[in-house]
Amino acid sequence: MTRLRRLALELFGRLPAFVRRRVVTILSPGYVLGAVLALRHGDDVLMVRSRHLREAMTLPGGLLERGETPREGLVRELREELRLDVELGEDATVVLVYPEPRRVDFVYEVRVSERPELHVDGIEVLEAQWVPITSELTDDTARDALDRLARRPPHPLDSTT
């Protein structure tokens, strides 16, 4: 350890605790947290077209509010945007970290035997439709999540063709 670094750490250690916490908070990277759902029916996945991303379709979900768990945030977003209640596991299926935009997406995958009734809110979500999981209509974030899910071991409810 260099002498300068040792001196800096020693000075930092002498600061009051609230100042040390504030310095760490300021210097630590902040990330935006979101949660999305890959709702599967056979070889199709539910996709939405949102007001802020009109050129492509994406997975339903959204950003977490302060203090929400990913599961709580996703449940809230699905109810607000689609009036959709889905049984989610406690933990995300995969977690995607994007260092450059400083974003973390918690991706939940749920398979259903019947397609649930959807009610598009028209405020944030403009359209919802079932598309083949290999569809090119998806945005990069949805494609990344679906590709990552596809690399997981097969699920018993996946169709075999």
Q: What are phi and psi of 77, to 5 degrees?
A: -60, -45
- What does each C-alpha distance from 124 to 27, 75, 133, 141 come to in angstroms? 34, 15, 23, 17
pLDDT of residue 129: 94
pLDDT of residue 160: 41
pLDDT of residue 145: 92
As averages over each run of 10 residues, the pLDDT of the chain (161 residues) reads 73 81 75 94 94 81 93 96 92 91 93 94 90 87 90 61 39
pLDDT of residue 3: 80
Out of 3.90.79.10, 3.40.50.920, 3.40.50.720, 3.10.180.10, which CATH number does the structure's domain 31-150 have?
3.90.79.10
Say if strands 103-111 and 32-41 run parallel, antiparallel, or are unpaired.
parallel
Domains of the chain, residue spans: 1-28, 31-150
pLDDT of residue 161: 39
- What does each C-alpha distance from 46 to 14, 21, 27, 64, 149 come to in angstroms? 55, 43, 39, 20, 14
pLDDT of residue 157: 54
Model's pTM, two decimal places?
0.77
Q: Which of 25, 34, 95, 22 is nearest to 63 (CA)?
A: 34
pLDDT of residue 82: 96
